[in-house]
Amino acid sequence: MPAEHPVISDPLLAILGFAAVIVLLLFLITRWKWHVFLALLIPLILFGLFPGIQRNEFISAFETGFGKTLGKIGVVIVLGSIIAEALKHTGAITVITRAMIRLVGGRNMPLALTLTGFVLGIAIFSDVAFVILNPLVHSAAAAMGVSIGVMSIGLVGSLQLTHAIVPPTPGPLAAAALVGADIGKVILYGGIACLMGSLACWIWGQFIAGPRIKTGPSEEFSDPELLNLESSNETKLPGTFMSFLPIAVPVILITARSISQLFLAETNPIRTALDYLGWPVVSIAIGVALAYLNIKNREQKSAATSDWVENALKVSAMILVVTGLGGSLSEILKGTPAVDAVAGFFVESGLPTILLPFTLGVIGNMITGSTTVGVITAASLSAPLLGQIGLSPEAAMLSGACGSVIIKYVNSSYFWICTSLTRLTPGAGVFAYGGATFAGGIVSFLVVCVMWKLGWI
């Protein structure tokens, strides 16, 4: 359906213009190594000079898309980043890891670390979590007499999966806002897909890649005390229940809000309460408050209201501006006949429409090396097409997010962090960690496809 106030009316010029935007974007990132913010902004500005562009409509679409997108998730992304800072500095990450070890037993350390990655990836950037857990990886590998590949592969994969797919991590949160997905449904069904994908990463590490990796643990990082579950510093750490609470409560409230909207009348008092408590701004703010309850000393208390917030703002800044520009790109695309042309071509091809966002996520990640950029790119380009290709926002977001983890290799900062800390060669890293993210991404995507076919999303 043509836009009421088109940015450009000529279909051929629209398609050529957007092809030029994408090519220039990828060239600036891959060839000149520009930051993704400038690499997105400059092509969009140049597109405004393209022949046939109605510049007033272009400017309006740019500003509307940027503001509308950030209005939905700007505050939430910052709050989520503050939770991550609190989990890191209060020691909650250590407590969660020890809880997973107790759950599956010390003999199943690779599985315990995989499940730890599944939980922590929901709230913390994958590279930060891996840096924190790396000493435990080496210590556990030394204690069990296994290679570093066996011990680390499941963790590397599961951290990346929930980081890419399950809010309130900033990337999937931004993508959900871009396509208009219900965040509660994304958490619920994305969590199911990620759990299956994480187990696939664990299998890849245990039975396929891990035994072929001969690199052993490094004494530089090992600390046997980390495996002592009754360590003397236990009293300095928060309790297990309180460590999980800042992650669990926002997830439960947001998901409960979505479920209540499906089954309860608008006037139902429970739904009325959950409509507010499950609003991401409120639920994640509650998560921040719960995380701050784990503060044990005066130094942490001082940092909590200044340094932690400042660090969270720094981390959030890139996500916010890139997400805003993704919203601008999506809004501008809606105002062109390119939407109908691309959707028509894809529908006529006979391919399942759920492949479109998945493919966009794969391309975005593999070219830029960034999972966050991949999931945001897939959402930005998919959002205007959803009405024409008959795909729900939740299916589109989850599909694109699954694609955005395939494959972590040498153009990814996460790849280099993991390989350098585990002392793997680049070749072994591609096989071990690239293979894990490929296996985990494919399995997660297949689970999403099944849920889409069943009509759940």
The pLDDT tens digits along the chain (457 residues) read 445 668 888 888 888 887 888 788 778 876 787 877 888 899 999 999 988 889 999 999 999 989 888 887 888 889 988 998 898 888 898 889 888 888 887 788 999 999 999 999 998 888 888 988 888 899 889 888 899 999 999 999 999 999 999 988 888 988 998 999 999 999 999 999 999 999 999 999 999 998 999 899 888 777 666 666 665 555 578 899 999 999 999 999 999 999 999 888 989 999 999 999 999 999 999 999 999 999 988 888 888 888 889 988 887 887 788 888 888 888 888 778 777 776 777 667 778 889 999 998 988 887 777 888 889 888 988 888 888 888 999 999 999 999 999 888 777 888 888 998 899 988 899 999 999 999 999 999 999 999 999 999 8
- In 4-20, which positions are buried (b, 16+ CB within 10 angstroms) versus exposed (e)? eebbbebeebbbebbee
- pLDDT tens for 40-77 read 899 999 999 988 889 999 999 999 989 888 887 888 88
Positive or negative torsion for Cα 226, 230, 235, 241: positive
Q: Could you give the CA distance from residue 130 to residue 422 in angstroms, rounded to a whole number? A: 10
Residue 164 is predicted with a pLDDT of: 93
- Residue 448's nearest CA partner among 371, 357, 369, 380 is 357
The amino acid that residue 124 corresponds to is I
Domain boundaries, the chain: 68-453
- pLDDT tens for 269-286 read 999 999 999 999 999 999
Residue 57 is predicted with a pLDDT of: 92
Q: Could you give the CA distance from residue 101 to residue 240 in angstroms, rounded to a whole number? A: 12
DSSP 42-97: HHHHHHTTSTT--HHHHHHHHHHHHHHHHHHHHHHHHHHHHHHHHHHHHTHHHHHH
Residue 407 is predicted with a pLDDT of: 81
Q: Could you give the CA distance from residue 20 to residue 336 in angstroms, rounded to a whole number? A: 15
DSSP secondary structure code for residue 146 in this structure: -
Two tokens, residue 110: 């690779």
Q: Return the residue matching tokens 């107790």.
A: 102
Positive or negative torsion for Cα 242, 244, 245, 246: positive
